[in-house]
Amino acid sequence: MTAPKHGKETSGTRDRILIEASRLLSTNGYRGTTTREIAAAVGISQPSLFFHFSNKRAIVEELYRRDLVPAVAGLENLIVAEASPAAKLFALIQGETTRILDSPYDMRAHISYEALNDPDLAPFRELIRQFDDLTNLIIRSGQESGQFDAGDPWLAQQMVSGFLARANLFVLSDEVRRQSHPEEAAALILRGLLSDPTTLDEVRSEAAALLARYVPDVPTPPD
């Protein structure tokens, strides 16, 4: 359980734990991140963590919940929208990159290979798989409609996924880049996929109308 040992949390420490843990998880991985490291990053003693979270896994579960659940929900919104597959993919890349950049949590870990294998994180594997499958679905329907070149949709999906997995490196770049990158990145990837690259600007415009469907509100601390 992620419920605090006691009543209502007011200190903000719980959220600081999530933020610091997300950074450590992204660089050290789940098993490679110790509770002592998290505690030190937050500035509390290691056993204090267990006032806020029942165990180490609960920290990670909460992070995944805040990241993957909105992402999959947003992607599902895109799937049902009345728009071309290319616009959907554009919106996905732009929206997801924006979302990652705007998140207080460093969510690189969400797509790490480790996450796909650790027994503790098994419940979240399904969510990652869903995200990938829905991406693949958009690509395939783009190919069926002729908007995208024929080719292995899986390969295109790897290009998207690989790129998004690095989206958090953008947080290390300057503000000018941060503003332009989501859209520029989407354009770069789409240009590689479109059968007719001259349609890119149309796609871009169409995608702009879709963005609100994708970018969920940044998760707020609970309660």
**Tokens 């941060």 — which residue?**
178
Helical spans, DSSP H, in 10-55:
13-28, 35-42, 49-52
Contact call for residue 116 and a second copy (CB under 8 A): yes
CB of 128 to DNA, least distance (A): 22
Contact call for residue 59 and a second copy (CB under 8 A): no
Q: Compare residues 51 and 163 and give the one whose CB is closer to a second copy.
A: 163
Residue 177's binding partner among DNA, a second copy, none (Cβ under 5 to 8 angstroms by kind) is: a second copy
Contact call for residue 1 and DNA (CB under 7 A): no
What is the full DSSP assignment across 151-193? S-HHHHHHHHHHHHHTGGGGGGS-HHHHHHHHHHHHHHHHHHH
CB atoms within 10 A of CB 184: 13
CB atoms within 10 A of CB 73: 11
Contact call for residue 82 and DNA (CB under 7 A): no
Residue 55's binding partner among a second copy, DNA, none (Cβ under 5 to 8 angstroms by kind) is: DNA
- Name residue 194's beta-bridge partners: 148
Q: Compare residues 43 and 192 and give the one whose CB is closer to DNA.
A: 43
Task: Please pick, from the candidates 4, 29, 104, 216, the single residue that binds DNA as defined by CB under 7 A.
Answer: 4
Positions in 44-63 near DNA (CB under 7 A): 44-48, 50-52, 54-57
- Name residue 148's beta-bridge partners: 194
In whole angstroms, give the CA distance from residue 29 to residue 113: 9
Contact call for residue 35 and DNA (CB under 7 A): yes
For residue 48, give both structure tokens: 């204090």
Residue 205's binding partner among DNA, a second copy, none (Cβ under 5 to 8 angstroms by kind) is: none
Q: Compare residues 24 and 193 and give the one whose CB is closer to DNA.
A: 24
In whole angstroms, give the CA distance from residue 206 to residue 223: 37
Task: Please pick, from the candidates 192, 209, 221, 223, the single residue that binds a second copy as defined by CB under 8 A.
Answer: 192
**Tokens 């993919």 — which residue?**
89
For residue 133, give both structure tokens: 């499958």
Query: What does the binding site for DNA look like in residue numbers (CB under 7 A)?
Result: 4-11, 13, 33-36, 39, 43-48, 50-52, 54-57
Query: What does the binding site for a second copy look like in residue numbers (CB under 8 A)?
Result: 26-32, 108, 112-114, 116-118, 149, 151-152, 154-156, 158-159, 161-166, 169, 173, 177, 180-181, 184-185, 188-193, 197
